[in-house]
């Protein structure tokens, strides 16, 4: 299993396509930071407009913690596309390239190969989020410094002291890994049924978009479905920045996301074990 | 000599299509076993079933004395294969690809040994070049190196010369012969080219529409004493009557009773519609053909053509003509 995982990681990180995601995240984060560095105060003043009637806000609000929070909020719904780019390629890409049949003529079992590929997808997803954390959090702290984190939630304001913020980010990134692995597992599952990578990548992104729309629309017709959609729970990381932290809701979201991961991987495993390799 | 592969009543259906139907054959140690058949005959599906890439609908496969369904891992440790074009990772070099597949085969082979494998297939000087810079023939040879990387007892090559230029075909042919003669490997090789199989295989199975047409030793299939001679004359019906009454009657009977009778193309059947029977098939020793020709002249038979064909060609043309309706006797 470990040699297989190492081989899969070697393949992922030697493939130029893999680095598109890392470059894309770097460019997005740097552009965001540049914009904030140039005119962040105007943006914050605009965002705080609903509160200025009731509160007298003074002092330096823009700091590394706030910029990172806004980066996470803005990008975590776009990251699935980058995750799908690699996860959707894991099986279908090999089938399209013609290497899948060569891989499966070797002694390792199909289950082992699938587990190694999923493990490699997990490592890639974690790497991508760590990269985002490095640039988004560490980079923002270096550029903007640290300070109390003030965030808006509806009409309410949550304020956290600077010393009380880092653990929230650690927890939020941990949650984001589970959320992104749900998307990765979906792309991975679709990859088992396809002969080239484009299909699973586009289908995964389409499913995420449709499910996100369903999750955010306040239409009673969809209200029974919404609690079970993984997209409803993908932004559960925000809970770590609320006061008090809604642990029960976060736990429920985690369970639903992990349930989705288990379901997607189980179906992928079953289908791959039974599949005739004709590519 | 040990039996390396024993296949019994192997069947694979895709929906209502039977790609392989009740196929049985055996491969002995040291054989270069040729699978010959048209595209779509079921060769690749059969080879994929031997490698567990495709699961049989029914039937049994025993490789190296073990049942494939229950000993897949143990068997594949001793099998090397190239199925169709060996597409490798284009962003890796030849050496890196070989190293990767050697580790997948369960061992970590030293660079020196990997280089020896590349030398065997003539790629040592391109070892560190990325595979996307390789020609098709080089990829094919690298694929064979990948198949050989775990020093397998059985090598399965599916259409190894497909798409190659004449030099590439010759290289692969020499490599197969080298593996068989100098390294005592057992090989199962599929092709749709009769000439290629004649050169490399010592035993052969001809397939058509998923079923076995014939299986046997190449020496028997190419036996000159069983050469089929097709006679086309100005009056085939009259010629047939004369031959029945001559010393060639036995050859005529053997030709007509041969198990594999190639159909006569429509244009050559024109005579048959006018009461003529079309070309006449006789089975005789190849050395007797000149004497037979003289006899025809002496009998006053107006010979249009005499076409000798060994039984293997006859079997194969049976497939090609039935599949494509190409005239087997055109000059």
What value of ipTM does the predicted structure carry? 0.81
pLDDT value, residue A218: 81
Q: How confident is the model at residue B52 (pLDDT cuts 50, 70, 90)?
A: very high
Q: Which residues of B touch A (CB under 8 A)?
A: 48, 51-55, 72-74, 76-77, 79-92, 100-101, 103-106, 143, 146
- Cα torsion B192, B196, B201, B206 to 10°: value is 20
pLDDT value, residue B277: 64
Nearest to A7 among B81, B87, B104 (CB): B104
The answer, yes or no, to whether residue A101 has pLDDT greater than 80, is yes
Q: How many alpha carbons fall within 13 Å on the CB side of residue B220?
A: 7
Do A109 and B55 make contact, defined as CB atoms within 8 angstroms? Answer: no
CB of A19 less than 8 A from some CB of B: no
Condensed to tens digits (0 to 9), the pLDDT of residues A185-243 reads: 999 999 999 989 899 999 999 999 999 999 888 888 888 889 999 999 998 999 999 98
The answer, yes or no, to whether residue B331 has pLDDT greater than 50, is no
Cis bond before residue A244 (omega within 30° of 0): yes
pLDDT value, residue A221: 80
The answer, yes or no, to whether residue B22 has pLDDT greater than 80, is yes
Condensed to tens digits (0 to 9), the pLDDT of residues B57-77 reads: 999 999 999 999 999 999 999
Do B104 and A15 make contact, defined as CB atoms within 8 angstroms? Answer: no
Q: What is the mean pLDDT of residues A132-140?
A: 93
How many angstroms separate the Cα of A205 from the Cα of each of A3, A95, A212?
Answer: 31, 21, 10
> How high does pLDDT run on average in chain A?
90
pLDDT value, residue A73: 87
- Rounded Cα distance between B282 and B249, Å, is 9
Q: What is the mean pLDDT of residues A22-47?
A: 87
Q: How confident is the model at residue B198 (pLDDT cuts 50, 70, 90)?
A: confident
Condensed to tens digits (0 to 9), the pLDDT of residues A140-178 reads: 999 999 999 988 877 778 889 999 999 999 999 999 999
Share of chain A above pLDDT 70, in %: 96
Q: What is the mean pLDDT of residues A41-54?
A: 71
The answer, yes or no, to whether residue B262 has pLDDT greater than 70, is no
The answer, yes or no, to whether residue A33 has pLDDT greater than 60, is yes
Q: What is the mean pLDDT of residues A99-120?
A: 92
The answer, yes or no, to whether residue B274 has pLDDT greater than 60, is no
Q: What is the mean pLDDT of residues B236-263?
A: 81
Q: What is the mean pLDDT of residues A51-75?
A: 80
How many angstroms separate the Cα of A175 from the Cα of each of A181, A252, A258?
Answer: 10, 12, 11
CB of A273 less than 8 A from some CB of B: no
Hey, which CATH number is domain B224-324, 1.10.10, 1.10.3470, 2.30.110, 3.30.70? 3.30.70
> How high does pLDDT run on average in chain B?
85
pLDDT value, residue B259: 60
The answer, yes or no, to whether residue B26 has pLDDT greater than 60, is yes
Q: Show me where the domains of chain A are located.
A: 2-274
Q: Does residue A255 or residue B107 have the better pLDDT? A: A255
Domain B3-217, CATH class in plain words: alpha beta
CB of A108 less than 8 A from some CB of B: yes
| Contact yes or no for A69/A238 (Cβ under 8 A) | no
Nearest chain A residue (CA) to B143: A102
pTM: 0.82
Q: What is the mean pLDDT of residues B166-176?
A: 87
> Considering just the CA atoms, what is the radius of gyration of chain B in Å?
23
């Amino acid at each position: 299993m470990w040699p297989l995982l190492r081989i899969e990681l070697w393949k992922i990180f030697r493939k130029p396509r893999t680095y598109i995601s890392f470059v894309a995240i770097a460019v997005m984060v740097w552009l965001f930071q540049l914009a904030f560095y140039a005119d962040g105060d105007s943006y914050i003043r605009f965002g705080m407009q609903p509160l200025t009637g009731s509160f007298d806000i003074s002092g330096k609000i823009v700091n590394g913690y706030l910029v990172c929070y806004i980066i996470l909020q803005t990008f975590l719904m776009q990251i699935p596309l980058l995750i799908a780019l690699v996860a959707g390629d894991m099986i279908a890409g090999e089938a399209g390239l013609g290497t899948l049949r060569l891989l499966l003529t070797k002694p390792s079992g199909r289950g082992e190969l699938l587990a190694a590929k999923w493990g490699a997808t997990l490592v890639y997803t974690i790497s991508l989020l760590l990269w985002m954390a490095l640039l988004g959090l560490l980079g923002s702290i270096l550029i903007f410094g640290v300070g109390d984190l003030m965030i808006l939630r509806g009409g309410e304001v949550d304020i956290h002291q600077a010393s009380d913020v880092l653990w929230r980010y650690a927890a939020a990134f941990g949650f984001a890994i589970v959320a992104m692995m749900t998307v990765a597992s979906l792309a991975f599952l679709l990859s088992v049924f396809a002969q080239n990578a484009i299909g699973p990548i586009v289908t995964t992104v389409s499913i995420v978009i449709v499910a996100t729309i369903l999750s955010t629309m306040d239409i009673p017709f969809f209200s029974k479905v919404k609690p079970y959609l993984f997209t409803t729970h993908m932004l559960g990381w925000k809970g770590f920045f609320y006061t008090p932290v809604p642990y029960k809701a976060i736990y429920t979201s985690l369970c639903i996301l992990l349930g989705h991961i288990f379901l997607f991987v189980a179906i992928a495993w079953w289908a791959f074990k039974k599949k005739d390799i004709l590519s | 000599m040990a039996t390396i592969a024993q296949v019994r009543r192997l069947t694979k259906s895709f929906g209502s299509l039977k790609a392989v139907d009740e196929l049985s054959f055996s491969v002995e140690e040291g054989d270069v076993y040729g699978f010959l058949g048209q595209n779509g005959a079921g060769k690749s599906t059969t080879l994929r079933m031997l490698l567990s890439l495709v699961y049989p609908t029914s039937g049994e496969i025993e490789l190296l004395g073990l049942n494939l369904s229950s000993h897949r891992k143990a068997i594949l440790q001793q099998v090397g294969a190239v199925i169709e074009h060996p597409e490798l990772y284009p962003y890796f070099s030849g050496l890196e690809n070989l190293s990767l597949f050697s580790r997948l085969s369960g061992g970590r082979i030293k660079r020196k040994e990997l280089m020896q494998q590349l030398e065997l297939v003539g790629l040592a000087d391109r070892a560190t070049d990325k595979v996307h810079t390789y020609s098709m023939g080089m990829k094919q040879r690298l694929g064979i190196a990948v198949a050989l990387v775990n020093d397998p007892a059985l090598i399965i090559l599916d259409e190894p010369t497909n798409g190659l230029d004449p030099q590439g075909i010759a290289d692969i042919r020499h490599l197969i012969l080298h593996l068989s003669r100098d390294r005592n490997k057992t090989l199962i090789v599929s092709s749709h080219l009769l000439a290629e199989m004649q050169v490399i295989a010592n035993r052969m199975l001809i397939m058509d529409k998923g079923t076995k047409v014939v299986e046997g030793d190449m020496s028997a299939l190419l036996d000159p004493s069983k050469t089929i001679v097709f006679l086309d004359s100005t009056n085939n019906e009259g010629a047939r009557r004369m031959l029945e009454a001559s010393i060639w009657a036995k050859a005529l009977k053997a030709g007509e009773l041969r198990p594999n009778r190639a159909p006569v193309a429509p244009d050559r059947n024109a005579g048959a519609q006018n009461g003529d029977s079309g070309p006449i098939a006789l089975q005789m020793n190849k050395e007797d053909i000149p004497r037979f020709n003289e006899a025809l002249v002496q009998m006053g038979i107006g010979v249009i053509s005499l076409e000798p064909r060994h039984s293997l060609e006859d079997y194969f043309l049976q497939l090609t003509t039935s599949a494509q309706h190409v005239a087997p006797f055109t000059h």
